[in-house]
Amino acid sequence: MAQNKFEPAKDIPNLEGKVILVTGGNAGIGKATIRAIALHDPARIYLCARRRSAAETAAAELRAESQYNRIDVLDLDLASLESIKKCAAEFNEKENRLDVLFLNAGVASTAPALTQEGYEFQFGVNHVGHALLTQLLMPKMLQTRRADPKADVRIVATASNAAFAPFLPKGGLVLNAMREPNAYSPISLYAHSKLANVLFIRKISQMYPDISAIAAHPGVVKSDIWGKGAGGLFSMLYRPVVWATWVNIDQGAKSQLWCATAPLGGATGVKTGQYYQPVGKIRMLKGAAADQKLADELWKWTTNELASHDGNGWPAV
């Protein structure tokens, strides 16, 4: 499948009436994603970020650039399940629909640490936090579909080719080590969290067939995420590759923008449960990423963990 020619300014259709939420929208490809979709007149865009001051600054810049004023800020710290609950509750109180959920925020190769609830930091932010947010917003997405059976509801997760990397932990998933901050190297733990993203999207597509769930690799993007690495092997071997092959954030956002707005189905359209490389090119899953048993294991583990923190559970279809 050849790469699609995709220019957001002309190829994204009118988004009138759609409500869109972007995690990590204050910087990098999250900010670029909001910049692009603001030009197509959605009903409202929610910019979610951990630091309120940075989020408000980014929102003001985006409003001024686009002359689109319906960008609202929500506080969201993906390393805190309580913060995620508050964010989802605020959104659910304000809105009666959700059309596109961008699970965009993330961290890469950070120093060993734990989230507030004691999960390995990269896995906690990149997977557990986004899983809880998805669970809490799923009733709103299902409501959107029930109110309008023709509604095009999508979840787009920012993934990475690290999900297929040779430095994944042996066996792919090591869920029993996800309360240990340094069980593996930072780059292996990053790959582990990105594998979880791919498996989670695949399982969501199976559990909720009326909602399109897609994983998008942005390419190697020169953004703030690479400035927060833990050093060591990552710094010596991988970071030089990043700087040598990078694309800018607007180019990097194209992959998830295509997944969120291109027509569904057909020979060249968006297909739920798939993993896309830039732009609109399916990468066939293999290894741990193609293992249905691992997808089922991750879903069960995640569901149980969220329930232990008073999650609402996954709603019925």
Nearest to 17 by CA among 96, 134, 109, 123: 96
Q: What is the three-class DSSP state of 119?
A: coil
Active site residues: 184
135-139, Cβ contacts within 8 angstroms, sequence gap of 24 or more? 135/306, 135/311, 135/312, 135/313, 135/314, 136/84, 136/85, 136/88, 136/89, 136/92, 136/311, 136/312, 137/21, 137/88, 137/91, 137/92, 137/98, 137/101, 138/208, 138/314, 138/315, 139/92, 139/312, 139/315
Question: How would you write the pLDDT of the chain (317 residues) with one tens digit per residue?
Answer: 445 789 999 999 999 999 999 999 999 999 999 999 999 999 999 999 999 999 999 999 999 999 999 999 999 999 999 999 999 999 999 999 999 999 999 999 999 999 999 999 999 999 999 999 999 999 999 999 999 999 999 999 999 999 999 999 999 999 999 999 999 999 999 999 999 999 999 999 999 999 999 999 998 875 555 455 554 445 455 555 555 557 899 999 999 999 999 999 999 999 999 999 999 999 999 999 999 999 999 999 999 999 999 999 999 99
In angstroms, the CA 154 to CA 145 distance is 11
Reading the block at residue 116, the tokens are 């507030």
Q: Which CATH architecture best describes the domain 8-308?
A: 3-Layer(aba) Sandwich (3.40)
Q: How confident is the model at residue 226, as a pLDDT?
A: 46
Q: Residue 102: CA atoms inside 13 Å, Cβ hemisphere, count?
A: 35
Question: Where are the domains positioned within the chain?
Answer: 8-308
pTM for the predicted model, two decimal places: 0.94
Helix axes 186-207, 292-308, angle to 10 degrees: 90
Reading the block at residue 274, the tokens are 């798939």
Cis peptide before 220 (omega within 30 of 0): no
Cβ-Cβ contacts under 8 Å for 47 (sequence gap 6 or more): 22, 25, 26, 30, 34, 55, 58, 59, 62, 71, 72, 73, 74
User: What is the torsion angle, in degrees rounded to the nearest 10, for the CA atoms of residue 127, residue 176, residue 83 and residue 37?
Assistant: 0
User: What is the torsion angle, in degrees rounded to the nearest 10, for the CA atoms of residue 9, residue 143, residue 302 and residue 284?
Assistant: -40
Helix (H) or strand (E) holding 213: strand 212-216
Instruction: Tell me whether residue 290 is exposed, middle or buried, using C-beta atoms within 10 angstroms of its C-beta: 0 to 12, 13 to 18, 19 or more.
Output: middle
